[in-house]
Every structure is written in structure tokens, then in C-alpha cells.
Structure 1
């Protein structure tokens, strides 16, 4: 077999790198009225919709997809026509052939049919760290979404490859802040706020992990930092030591929930709407701001409501409600615990037989936790099954395709971040890694 290292070295000379098929910006209509699922196409195999514009069925069906959102081209019919058993056998055989040269990274939100093949399972930060911690591995197959694979490519060594099985696995939240919009917002802020007269900057840019490599690089160039849902408080403290205020993108809810927990008021957190002059704010609002929140959100976590929490408490008086900090502030304030996917996992693992947990996060993780802990009752706050649209696009057929490609000496869907972008982004990411809670 051709070594993976040789495959990587030759990838630049053949059409084996990832391709982005550009389309027009799409605005979707009203959600489908379905009582048992958020979209009637959820059961559709992803390759039947991958070439269509947008994010596909799931929580972000109705989000606006930018023209740069990647699409996945067709893969051979031998994979899309294969049975579940055949795909399973082919994936296992390819893994055995590739051996220690390959690591499969599986996000918590992935479907079980994918997670069972993963060498590492975790959130986006944990998986990016796993890529950094394994310099001996020649190829990482990242079963997550595009920004996660970009981060893994930035943190891994140059001779390593990062592969995304399905290029259509993007992130609507990450797409809500483009580099052009961020740079335009920065220019307007500099005009309004001017230059600082002391050692502290007027604005420090902070971006959530759920953002493009280009925006992480923007933060690296402008004395900013990346944060995770685990260390957001530590990062904001870091930023306030260096600046008078923060602009936080792309998730308004993580920014708001973190800042409110630190004692900031709503008035100190104006919302920046990228299509309006000065984000739709007055100069005074921006001057008085401590955290300027970008108008972005996670379509999965936006679905959770206080009414759902009230119903859970009515049905189970002893229930413990845990919410992800990407949920709206009223939900976070009504919950018993708030934290990242890793926090949620650990909180449930610390539970006792008979405990009841209602969880505000993506359905695949919640269902997996219930399967792992049958001695407890664990359920999703949202009664409507609505997984992450793009995470759902990773299917065993795509995994088999990229793995067998490696065996045959081909690299499909390699994610390669431009060297200049990677250099600047790594600055912001290293600051994030140093900001331990």
C-alpha cells in the first residue's frame, strides 16, 4: 500500500484536495410543520441533497447559506448503493489496513453509525487538541464540520493531513460571520471609537471556536483570541485586562450568557447586526458597551425554551436541567447547570441511579448518554427531533469512501488552510490554549 505520507506529499499535484462548489445565497421559507421531526427530509440520504444549496434538513434548514458554503460532489455509486453491513465491513477493513497512521475523530453530535468507528470522541476543542497531541499520525479523518477540520489542520503538523468525509458538513453559526463582514465591522468600530489614549485597546476581538479559520486569523492579527464554551469566562477576563471592550462573534448567546454571569448588564451588551451601519447601534451605545455581540446563533440550541423546562419540571419534579451556553439567556437562567458538551457529559456521569436529567443540547449526544446510562432517565428538552443539519451529513458511505481512498493512494476532501491564515489563526488559538479555566 502507498504510505499515507506519500499520498499527502503528492496531493498538491492531483485533483485530490477539497473543492468548494459555489452557489447563490439562499433564503429559505417557513419551517415544515412536522410533529415528530423538524423536517420531512431528515431521513433522506445526504448524497441526495448534498448538491443542493443550503444546509439541508435539520435545525438549520431555514438559515441563510452564504455563497461560499461548500457543497459535496457525488461519490461513486458503490458507496451510496452499499448496504449498512457492507459499509461496516469496508470501513473496518480500511481502518485495519491503515493502522496507526490513521486516526478518526468523532464529534459528540455525530450519529452513532459514525461514532462507533472513532478513535477519539469529544467536542471541537477536544478533537483539535487530539490532532495536536498525535504528531505520529499521518492522516486525521474528522467526522465533524468544516471549521473543526480547519482548526485541526492549523494545529496539526504540515506533513499531516486532515480530511472531512463530506464537504457539505458546514456550520450555519460559523457562516453567520464572514471575514468581509468582520473586517467591515472592525473598520466602523475604529472610526467610531478611535485610538486608545492608554495601554488598553479600545476593542479586543474574541471569536468562538465555531468560526472560520479566516476569522480566527483576524483575531490573531488584531491582538485577539479564540474561546471555547469551557473557557469563555477566562477568555473575557483575559480580554478585559487588555481592552476596554470586546467584540464577540459569531454566537451572541454564548457571549451574552458568559458576560451576564460576570455581572454585565444587557445595556452593556449591544447587538451588532452586520447589515446595518454601526451594526444598528448609536455611537453612544458602542462607547458604553463592554461586550458587542455579533448577531449569530446555533440553530439547534436556539430551539430550547423556558416552557420546555417548565414542562420537564412538571413531569419530573426532581429533574436536573442542564443547558449548553449556546442556548438563549432565559433558558440558561432557568437551568440548574450550564456548560459545554464535555461538562454535560461529566455532569451526567456523576449522577446516581434513578436520577433524571433534561438536557438542552443536540439530540445525538442526549440519546447516546441515555443509552450509556440506562439506570437514569435522560431526555432532550426539545420534544421535536431536530439534529444539527450539517453534522448529520457525515454518513458511513462518505467515511468508507475517504478511507478506501487512502488505502488506494488517494486523498479525498483534504482540508488545507492557507499558510498565512494558519499562521495568524494559530496565534489566537495558542492564546486560547493558554487560557485555562
Structure 2
């Protein structure tokens, strides 16, 4: 599964960051993550009640030997450990991972695909998740009790996941229950169904499980909203406003029935009338990578390449999705590219590692990222071969490093919402 960018592909992420330190990208990303991930505790997106590994090995505490190893030595260690561990190990790699990591994954996919993939390897005692914290949490919730889940770098999280914390969602729910207290139950529908995007903590998935809700991914968001509308009058969708808005709009929900909930304001900044008339209540959250895409970038791409096709991720703002030729999950973007004809020019609005990989895999097409600054997901980028080598060497030595363990009381309810998600197959 090794993938090397050819001459038609874009510059590597490191090349771009190093060449453009004055851009809004973090120039520190060109260095090893251990140089700047120094804060104690988990990275963004962790659940408040996650069991913290003991002893905690934080970024910045990666043994100096691994920090100083050459790329060749790190890759040799990874290959040797993987061969020795055999079927006792399964490595999952998200589409947004850097190529030098994702090449070792037994399964590569989006969050929905990887959640399913983990279930297909019950014989593996260890799942190494090359993704971010909420993905590793999900794997631990769905794994067999005797399986261990490892996140190579504990700082690999998701800033979007932190935009909807447990206290704020609980407070919002209490306020909504007061607003909807007088609604009649004659139609058998709940007043509101909570739907959390996969990019959220296990605690918020558990909240949905306790309150008749469900988890969604960008792959099955439309199916999940259909599921929710069959059970409730309206939906509370968090944390990503853009995925919720774009999905509901495509299903025919009017924008005026999609109020925004700002957790810093009473009733989220809405009137009771707004909330009673609502169909989808959108949380004030977003993805920092996908928020960067603009209509002006699409206009520029079409001016430079007349007739080019544009596809963007549905975490992008609504005007961008509306201006594009298509939108879809990371897997849908891959399928869009595969279905294109040789010679086609395709501008893509999503994370740069996936765009680069698609360019390398499709040399008969011209593929580029809409955003000229080319920012990677800075937390996904925390997974470095040094961390992967260190965790795999630990397994060979009989030591489980950076294990992710979701507390039983959280996992129980979160599993309910996740199993509903897995049953809601993408269209």
C-alpha cells in the first residue's frame, strides 16, 4: 500500500509549510511533533472521563532515541515489528494521515469505514489507530473487552470535537426540554433527537445513547437525519454546523428552520418561537481545515481551468458547497475522482494529504487542492513514524503504550448510539 507522489502531484506538506512560513499554516508542523506537543494531559477531543494511561508518555517525552532516528531506521523498525506481531495486530489509518504512516495501515478509510473495519479483525489483540482521539475512543467502545486500542500520539485530537463539551450540551438540552415541555405526544414523536457527529468525545456519544439519539459520519449523515426525523420533530445537531446545514438543506429543510445554537448565550441566542419552529438546531462548531475553503477559490480554479470539476467536503461552508459541482465524504470524494475521465481537471476542497494521495493515484488527471495555502489537519498530523515505531516496539517487548480506555459507564451508552450509526448505512 506504499504510495509515492509523482511529479504531477502537489508539493509535500512539509515542502509547503517550509516554503510558506508566513502563511496561516503552523510552520512548526514541518518539525517533529515532539518539538511542540509539550502540554500535559490529552490533546483536543478527549472525553472528560477517559481513563488516562499510566504512566502517561506525552509528546515531548518520546524517547530521544526515536526523535533522532533516521527515516530509514524508523521505517525498518515499523516493518520488523509489524511482521513479528502478525495477525495479532491491526493498524487502521485515516485518509488524512501522511503517506509515510498510512502505508502501514491494514485498512485505510474514513471514520465510518474504519469503525466497521475494526470489527472485522476480532482475532487481533491490539488495534493501533493512526487517526485522532475520538476515533480511537470509538474503536475501544466497539472492540472486544480483551482488545487494546493504541493512539500513537496522545495529542492527536480534533479541535472541532472540543467545540461541543459535555457541560454545554447538557445545559442546552435542559433549556430545550423547558421550551418543548408543553408539546403534545399524540404523534408519538420525541420533541428533539440529539445527533452528534463522529468528531465528538465518547461522553457526547454516550449522551446521545441515553437520550434516544445517534452518531453520524459525513458518509451517512443524510441516512441518520432520516432516522432521527422518523423519531422526533426536530434534531439537535452537534458539533459541526456546516455538515448539519448542508445535509439538511439537501433534504429540503428550509434555512429559516435551522437556527444556530451558541452555547455562550441564553437559549443559544434564539427565541422560543425560533426553537419551536426549528427542524434542525445547529451547534456553533466547525472544522478549521474545511472552513478555509471559499467561493473565491472555486472561481479562481474555474478561471484557471475552464471546465474543471469541483468537489468539496460537506464540512465546508454552505456557499462553498452550493458553488461546487459536488460534495461528499472523503470516500465519496475518492469515488468522484475514480469516476472522472482521463484528462479531467478536479479541484478538491478537503485535507491536503488525501488530495495529494488522489493526485498520485490518478496520474491521468490533474488534481489539486482549492486552498493555495495547503494546510494539513494539524492534529491528525501529530501521528509521526517515530510514534508508530515506538508503540509497535513496545508491543514486541510486551508493553502497551498510549492505550485509549473509555470508562465503562461512558462506553455502555456510547455503544448504543454507535451501533445505531453502524446500522444507518450510507446512501
TM-score normalised by structure 1 residue count: 0.88
For residues 383 and 337 of structure 2, what CA distance do their matches in structure 1 show?
A: 26
1:41 alignment partner, SS class: helix
Q: Choose which of 323, 348, 369 in structure 2 pairs with 1:334.
A: 323
Structure 2, gaps ≥5 residues long: 1-19, 53-57
1:383 alignment partner, SS class: coil
For residues 36 and 424 of structure 1, what CA distance do their matches in structure 2 show?
A: 43
Aligned to 2:167: 180
For residues 310 and 41 of structure 2, what CA distance do their matches in structure 1 show?
A: 33
Aligned to 1:322: 311
Structure 1, gaps ≥5 residues long: 1-32, 57-62
Q: CA RMSD in A?
A: 2.1
Q: Choose which of 382, 385, 388 in structure 1 pairs with 2:371.
A: 382
Aligned to 2:401: 412
2:92 alignment partner, SS class: strand
For residues 334 and 34 of structure 1, what CA distance do their matches in structure 2 show?
A: 30
Aligned to 1:285: 274
For residues 423 and 169 of structure 2, what CA distance do their matches in structure 1 show?
A: 25
Aligned to 1:109: 96
1:234 corresponds to 2:223: yes
Aligned to 1:403: 392
> How many residues were matched structurally?
399
Partners of 2:140 and 2:406 within 8 A in 1: yes
Measured after TM superposition, the shift of residue 85 of structure 1 is 0.6
Partners of 1:313 and 1:319 within 8 A in 2: yes
For residues 420 and 46 of structure 2, what CA distance do their matches in structure 1 show?
A: 30
Aligned to 2:5: none
For residues 205 and 42 of structure 2, what CA distance do their matches in structure 1 show?
A: 23
Partners of 2:91 and 2:106 within 8 A in 1: yes
Aligned CA distance change for structure 1 residues 35 and 381 (closer, same or farther; 3 Å): farther
For residues 116 and 228 of structure 1, what CA distance do their matches in structure 2 show?
A: 24
1:84-110 deviations in whole A, cap 9, x for unaligned? 011011111111111110011111000
1:3-82 correspondence to structure 2 within 5 Å: 34=21, 38-52=25-39, 72=59, 74-82=61-69
Aligned to 1:22: none
Partners of 1:177 and 1:250 within 8 A in 2: yes
For residues 423 and 68 of structure 1, what CA distance do their matches in structure 2 show?
A: 13
Partners of 2:192 and 2:232 within 8 A in 1: yes
Measured after TM superposition, the shift of residue 67 of structure 1 is 9.3
1:121 alignment partner, SS class: strand
2:301 alignment partner, SS class: helix
Aligned CA distance change for structure 1 residues 241 and 109 (closer, same or farther; 3 Å): same
For residues 231 and 80 of structure 1, what CA distance do their matches in structure 2 show?
A: 39
2:29 alignment partner, SS class: coil
Partners of 2:45 and 2:157 within 8 A in 1: no
For residues 35 and 77 of structure 1, what CA distance do their matches in structure 2 show?
A: 30
Measured after TM superposition, the shift of residue 282 of structure 1 is 1.1
For residues 417 and 247 of structure 2, what CA distance do their matches in structure 1 show?
A: 19
Greater shift in the superposed pair: 239-248 or 65-74:
65-74
Partners of 2:46 and 2:201 within 8 A in 1: no
Q: Choose which of 71, 84, 96 in structure 1 pairs with 2:71.
A: 84
For residues 338 and 90 of structure 2, what CA distance do their matches in structure 1 show?
A: 26
2:93 alignment partner, SS class: strand
Greater shift in the superposed pair: 348-357 or 295-304:
348-357
Partners of 1:360 and 1:380 within 8 A in 2: yes
For residues 74 and 289 of structure 2, what CA distance do their matches in structure 1 show?
A: 29
Measured after TM superposition, the shift of residue 45 of structure 1 is 1.1
Greater shift in the superposed pair: 368-377 or 37-46:
37-46
The 4+ residue runs of structure 1 with deviation greater than 2 A are 33-37, 52-56, 63-73
For residues 214 and 127 of structure 1, what CA distance do their matches in structure 2 show?
A: 20
For residues 147 and 376 of structure 1, what CA distance do their matches in structure 2 show?
A: 34
For residues 295 and 66 of structure 1, what CA distance do their matches in structure 2 show?
A: 19
For residues 382 and 175 of structure 1, what CA distance do their matches in structure 2 show?
A: 24
Measured after TM superposition, the shift of residue 64 of structure 1 is 11
Partners of 1:55 and 1:390 within 8 A in 2: no
